[in-house]
Amino acid sequence: MRVIKNINNNVSLCLDSNQNEVVVFGKGIGFTKPPYDIPLSKIERTFYGVNPTYLSMIHDIPEYILKLSVKVIDYARLKLDNPVSSNIVFTLADHIHFAIQRYEKNMNIQLPIVYDVQYLFETEIEIGKYALELLQREYKTYLPKEEATYIALHLINAESQDQKSVKDKLSSNYIEDITEIVENYFEIQINREGFNYSRFVSHMHYLMKRGKNKELAQSDNLQLYDSLKNSYEKTFECAQLIKRYIEYSLKCELNEEECIYLMLHINRLCAREDCDQ
């Protein structure tokens, strides 16, 4: 296995004997400057078919969360009938990392569909509970029990995307318009090939779906709305432009809870851009 790029100290991008790209996990493999050949004895895990846009976000995720995500997906593959791609290891790690950050700040976002998911997707819920148990047992990190449902929704979405690779064109057009609103407001150019943008697109798909189905998010933290509004005035103003666009285009009114989440995702999208907030 030949290392062609180091992602962090323990993760590298390699080429196998057939010149296929593969993401490799192994203790300390990222300390040597590539290119170089790595002994198979140093390789702990390999992941084929990983979307290149997901590699950049590994720098921002603690290693223990990546390892946790690997264990959760290994468990999911034993439980689910549908195949699970390697990409979900990294997107799930990002989801869990963001969840921990939210709950450390007492930002508890709730969706009205939580109880429906619990009854309709028992296996995915079981996997979500397994993830929370691992966090508690191995890393002394505690998340509310509702987070098991959000992890389940992440798995359900991944299964759906694997079965349906082409997204709804109309929704994609809406999202492109929303992206241009952010670009024009902050006078920036957003990298549409990056993971931050992919994450933002996923959130917007969820938001529009909830709006169409009248299943908007509920929150115990409405005081955050005023706090974010005052702390991030430009982000709030941009979110209001997007809110008006969605209300006009989709004929659904966003509540303050959805605006909180929208502001958080605008901040995340702009975090790596030259964006004065």
Residue 55 covered by a domain? no
Same domain, 19 and 80: no
- pLDDT tens for the chain, 277 residues long, are 899 999 888 999 999 989 999 999 999 999 999 999 999 899 999 998 888 878 877 878 888 999 999 999 999 999 987 777 888 899 899 989 988 988 888 776 666 666 667 766 889 999 999 999 999 999 898 898 888 988 988 888 776 554 444 345 557 788 899 999 999 999 999 988 777 787 788 788 878 877 777 777 666 666 788 888 888 999 999 999 999 999 888 888 888 888 888 998 898 888 755 555 5
Q: CA-CA distance, 37 to 50, in Å (whole number)?
A: 21
CA distances from 145 to 46, 49, 136 (A): 31, 32, 11
Same domain, 206 and 262: yes
Residue 180 covered by a domain? yes
Same domain, 176 and 253: yes
Residue 53 covered by a domain? no
Same domain, 69 and 21: no
pLDDT at 114: 64
Domain that holds residue 21: 2-48
How many structural domains does the chain have? Answer: 3
Of 113, 144, 163, at which residue does a domain stop? Answer: 163
State the CATH number of the domain containing residue 43.
Answer: 2.30.24.10
Of 96, 129, 163, at which residue does a domain stop? Answer: 163
Residue 35 covered by a domain? yes
Same domain, 159 and 183: no
Same domain, 182 and 210: yes
Residue 275 covered by a domain? no
Residue 93 covered by a domain? yes
Residue 112: CB atoms within 10 Å: 13
Q: CA-CA distance, 19 to 213, in Å (whole number)?
A: 46
Residue 226 zone, left/alpha/beta (φ > 0; ψ -120 to 50; rest): alpha
Residue 54 covered by a domain? no
Per DSSP, which regions of 97-208 are E strands?
A: 109-110
State the CATH number of the domain containing residue 253.
Answer: 1.10.1790.10
Residue 277 covered by a domain? no
Same domain, 155 and 228: no
Residue 240: CB atoms within 10 Å: 15
